[in-house]
Chains A and B, each alone.
Chain A
Amino acid sequence: MLRIFLCIILLYSQLNVFAQTVRVCKTCELKTLQAGIAQAKSGDTLHIEKGIYKEHEVIVDKPLTIIGKDYPVIDGEMIGEIIRVISDSVTIDGLFIKNVGTSYTSDFAAIRIKRSKHFLIQNLKLETLFFGIYLEKSDDGIIQNNYIKGNAKVEYQSGNGIHLWHCKNVQVLNNKIYNVRDGIYFEFVNNSLVQGNVSINNLRYGLHFMFSNNDIYKDNYFEDNGAGVAVMFSKFIKIENNTFKKNKGAASYGLLLKEINDATISNNIFQENTIGTYLEGCNRITYANNNLIQNGWALKMMGACFENKFIHNNFIGNTFDVSYSGGNTTDNRFDYNYWSEYAGYDLNKDGTGDVPFRPVKLFSFITTKVPESIILIRSSFVDLVNFSEKVSPVFTPEHVSDSFPSMNKF
């Protein structure tokens, strides 16, 4: 037993001895990243000194730690892919990668990680890119503190900032992503964490994920993205403490949920979006403690939403608080929310209003049927109609009401 143990220690120390540092710079023996990788052995550290390296199709095929000093520039000259990782345990740190080529058939990326595990991609700066960081069937890695700035003009000619396809246990932390097509894109990604990212001004989605289960999205910030954030066909996800702001436009949503089951959406801020949260075919969602402030529609529920719970949310100054249409059953519950439009009273001073609040206005019902009627918004006639409907509801769904509306903001 002892012998085996000693053997392991000995082997380990041997490995350490062999792990060397390889320097790459313009005046060194090794002048390119490619040459450096060819020279290095498994487990070595590659130091890239400051300079401009015009390279593309660099393939990292052994476990290496590649560290850039003072952000050396890897310039792809708009030809093709820049770095491709096909080995486990690769770290890439501190590079400035730019000018990724554009291709409509092979999705060129600044960094592509293919069928690898235990990678660490951090502190990168990516500019003028097609795809940024592209993960393909790779698991157990971390992507953090990267700065990605694209120049996307049209959707079909641009790629995504951080793109994950068929991955598990990946952490995407504290990245900043601007002006790409989709800031963060997940497809078939399970058990992963997306935290502290900032995704602004992207052409399509700030965050987009599909078929990705058991993921956690926390403390992210999404602003002014073409279509906001869209999440689809996923189960058991948690969306917490995120900010969705100023996603304005004809087809823009703070958060679009389609076919999402058993999710928790809590403590998020939805502010000044055309539609704060849009739900379609969503079941058993717990939607709690969110702030919905000054949206066009705070919540828009389309058909086939069952057993969702909306509790302890603040609805403040939205043009329409809830719009509700189609075959939803009566088991979606709105309770204990704060509604700035609530005009009821609280005689027993227990903090909840004594008359139920009915968040679906007649006018929001009308605009869902006839979108053009929006031109009459804030006219006296519409106010009158809303008021009479509030007094004696005829058209709006009777069961959509908050029986215990809070008198105070949470």
Chain B
Amino acid sequence: MFKIFRYSLSDLLRSSWSYFYFSFYLLLGFGLLFFNPDVSKSVITLMNIIVVFSSLIAVVFGIMYYYNSREFIELLLAQPIKRSDIFIGQYLAVSVSLSLSLLLGVGIPFVIYGVADADLVKNFLVLMTAGIFLNFIFVAVAYNIALYHENRIKGFSYAILFWLFMTLIYDGLFLISLMMFKEYPLEKASLAATLFNPIDLSRILILLRLDISALMGYTGAVFKNFFGTTLGLTIALFSLLIWVILPVLNIYRKGNKKDF
């Protein structure tokens, strides 16, 4: 598995896409910090971009990489290598390379502009953790979709649809149901609902770190009381982890059974 991972990673790191993606974040980071001296505000803007954009790139890039390396996979399958090793190794390579682009692209400007403040370093770390989790989750989902669909067009559209569902449709349904059941106490229900959407979950984890929650009145305080505690944070991180583990297990399962 490690060998596959290494080959795929070095292949990815040589591809111009990785550099393009990396330089995008680099420019974004420098631009934000240059035009906006208030670092905590830059973190908010970065959050918006990372949560929406990096998940989109992850899902699209993941599915693209699978379809493109199909011949390579078939070649590998002819060798005496464990099947799951091939898929998991490739999956890890894609996720790690995307995460590296993100981490370095945003990290370098932050380091150069000097984030000495311990609180900001923490915010930055939360931001990066959320971003990296999102990469791993969305690449895993993309691999799942790709494994189930031979047809590239179909695969692509399902991947985009999944992303669209998580960023927009889920929140829309969420909001509509909140409004329909507004007579009931909804704090716990809405907390639970966020756990089922990694994008919402990362958004809230970051927002609560950034002290905006205190400005959100009573309900904000309730959310902060949940996510601010170690238990809440553990639950949030755990559910993000579940979001990684379940699709990866399915890659493992499906990869072992799939006909080529």
Residues on A lying within 8 angstroms of B by beta carbon are 248-251, 272-275, 294-297, 317, 319, 366, 369-382, 384-385
Contacts and interface: CB of A to CB of B under 8 A. Distances in A.
Contacts, number: 94
A373 B217 CA distance: 12
B200 interface: yes
Interface stretch (B153-161, B165-173, B228-236): B165-173
Contact of B217 (A296, A380, A382): A296
A382 B216 contact: no
Nearest to A275: B217
Interface stretch (B59-67, B78-86, B115-123, B175-183): B175-183
Given A372-B187, A382-B171, A377 B52 contact: no
Contacts of A297: 217
27 contacts: A248-B215, A250-B217, A250-B220, A250-B221, A272-B215, A273-B215, A296-B212, A296-B217, A296-B220, A317-B41, A366-B179, A369-B182, A372-B189, A373-B178, A373-B179, A374-B219, A375-B190, A375-B223, A376-B171, A376-B174, A378-B47, A378-B203, A379-B167, A379-B203, A380-B52, A382-B171, A384-B168
Given A251-B218, A296-B217, 16 more contacts: A250-B220, A272-B215, A274-B214, A295-B215, A296-B212, A366-B179, A372-B190, A373-B190, A374-B219, A375-B191, A375-B194, A375-B200, A376-B171, A381-B171, A381-B175, A384-B168
Nearest to A370: B182
B143 to A, nearest CB: 24
Contacts of B190: 372-373, 375
B39 interface: no
A297 B190 CA distance: 22
Contacts of A376: 171, 174-175, 200
A320 to B, nearest CB: 9
B175 A371 contact: no
B186 interface: yes
Contact of B216 (A272, A369, A374): A374
The 6 A-B residue pairs with the shortest CB-CB distance, nearest first, are A296-B215, A381-B171, A250-B218, A372-B186, A248-B214, A371-B219
A319 B187 contact: no
A370 B179 contact: yes
Contacts of B220: 250, 296, 374
B219 A249 contact: no
Contacts of A384: 168
Nearest to B44: A378
B96 interface: no
A373 B169 CA distance: 15
Interface of B: 41, 44, 47-48, 52, 167-169, 171-172, 174-175, 178-179, 182, 186-187, 189-191, 194, 199-200, 203-204, 207, 212, 214-221, 223
Given A372-B178, A382-B171, A384-B168, A377 B216 contact: yes
A385 B179 CA distance: 15
Contacts of A374: 216-217, 219-220, 223
Contact of A373 (B47, B175, B200, B218): B175
B172 A381 contact: yes
Contacts of A369: 179, 182
Given A373-B179, A375-B194, A274 B217 contact: yes
Contact of A380 (B167, B191, B194, B207): B167
Given A376-B174, A380-B52, A296 B167 contact: no
A319 B171 contact: no
Contacts of A377: 207, 212, 216
A179 to B, nearest CB: 20
A379 B52 CA distance: 9
Contacts of A295: 215
A275 B200 CA distance: 25
Q: Which of B47, B169, B172, B215 counts the most chain A CB atoms within 10 A?
A: B215
A379 B206 CA distance: 12
B206 to A, nearest CB: 9
Nearest to A252: B217
A373 B187 CA distance: 9
A380 B175 CA distance: 12
B191 to A, nearest CB: 8
Nearest to A248: B214
Q: Which of B44, B172, B216 counts the most chain A CB atoms within 10 A?
A: B216
A249 B186 contact: no
Nearest to B191: A375
A369 B186 CA distance: 13
B174 A296 contact: no
A172 to B, nearest CB: 30
B236 to A, nearest CB: 13
Nearest to B169: A381
A381 B219 contact: no
Given A370-B186, A372-B190, A380 B215 contact: no
Contacts of B215: 248, 272-274, 294-296, 319
Contacts of A380: 52, 167-168, 171
Contacts of B178: 370, 372-373
A87 B217 CA distance: 47
Contacts of B171: 376, 379-382
A377 B41 CA distance: 16
